[in-house]
Amino acid sequence: MKILIDTDPGIDDAMAIFYAALAPEVELVGLTTVFGNVHVETATRNALALVEMAGLDIPVAQGAARPLVRPLRAPPDFIHGAEGFGDVPKITPKGRAVTETAAELMCRLAREQPGELVVCAIGPITNVAEAVRLDPDFARNVKRIVFMGGAAFAPGNATPFAEANTHNDPHALNIVIGSGATVVMVGLDVTMQVLCDAAFFNRLGQASPDLGGFLQQASRFYLDFYRSRTGQDGCALHDPSAVIACTHPELFVMQSLPMVVTETGEEAGRTVVGADVAGPRVSVCTGGDMGAVKALFESAFARQRHG
């Protein structure tokens, strides 16, 4: 499956990108970067570094530096660290981003392989909205758009109402779900069902000293945040779950539900779903075999050791 990941790396973004690099069923064709966990320039630098660590030869395109309408929020360095990877110091990659913008790269790749490209957005979905605006055929050209974000029946994590990615740019998400593309939401309803503790990251490091070892090191800061702020002894499997939903939808329970995203006020970013909602339909992940999702993620790193 041809997948382009739109990302704001970010520790769980690194987890998702490494999984995509290792999964045999994924052909990772590019990364596009967006503001969110870090400023977009840092996101681009981090994406280039992750590509090099994984030994990939794919384009990285820089995208939106701020939301379409809402003011830019300060990156949550208390969650992901100042440079995005916890206590890992700034990494300077050898490569550079391509000259195309994120939206331009998305549109070109979708146009060159109509019906084949899956866009997996694991940060604020601003770049995908820009692609919809840029090319009237983009929504028809992509196979589907899978995004990590939202909370249909669960509480938010950025506010009591909203998940962080949707809170960052609710206007963009309304554009995307109204585009006519097939859209799948992988939100807190499912990602919070998985707990990844220190032992989990230790196993990744043992199975894969390079990629897993990097995640093991970066995760310490992340786990400390969860422990101190939420009392959880582990982090959720947010972004990797979205990649796995691209390739293994059978592991998830999905409901086709009308959706609208609240754009303003204290509930900004809330993903409102229900039969009485006057919005386009989205395939919303409401459950699934999340133990199998976690095991599938971990098996990719074990496969690297034996591959």
The count of residues in the chain is 307
Find, among 100, 259, 266, 85, the residue nearest to 185 by Cα: 259
Single-letter code of the amino acid located at 259:
M
Which regions of the chain does DSSP assign to beta strands (E)? 2-7, 27-33, 60-62, 117-121, 144-148, 183-186, 252-261, 271-273, 281-288
Contacts of 160 (CB under 8 A, 6+ apart): none
Angstrom CA distances, 111 to 43, 116, 130, stand at 25, 10, 15
The one-character DSSP state at 196 is: B
CA 199 to chain centre: 23
Q: Calculate Rg over the CA atoms of the chain.
A: 17
CB 15 within 8 A of CB 240: yes
The one-character DSSP state at 268 is: T
Q: In what order do the strands lie in the sheet containing 271-273? A: 60-62, 27-33, 2-7, 117-121, 144-148, 183-186, 281-288, 252-261, 271-273
CB atoms within 10 A of CB 63: 30
List 39, 238, 248, 306, catalytic entry: 238
Q: Is 238 a residue of the active site?
A: yes
Rounded Cα gap, residues 151 and 159, in angstroms: 11
CB 285 within 8 A of CB 250: no
Catalytic residue positions, numbered: 238
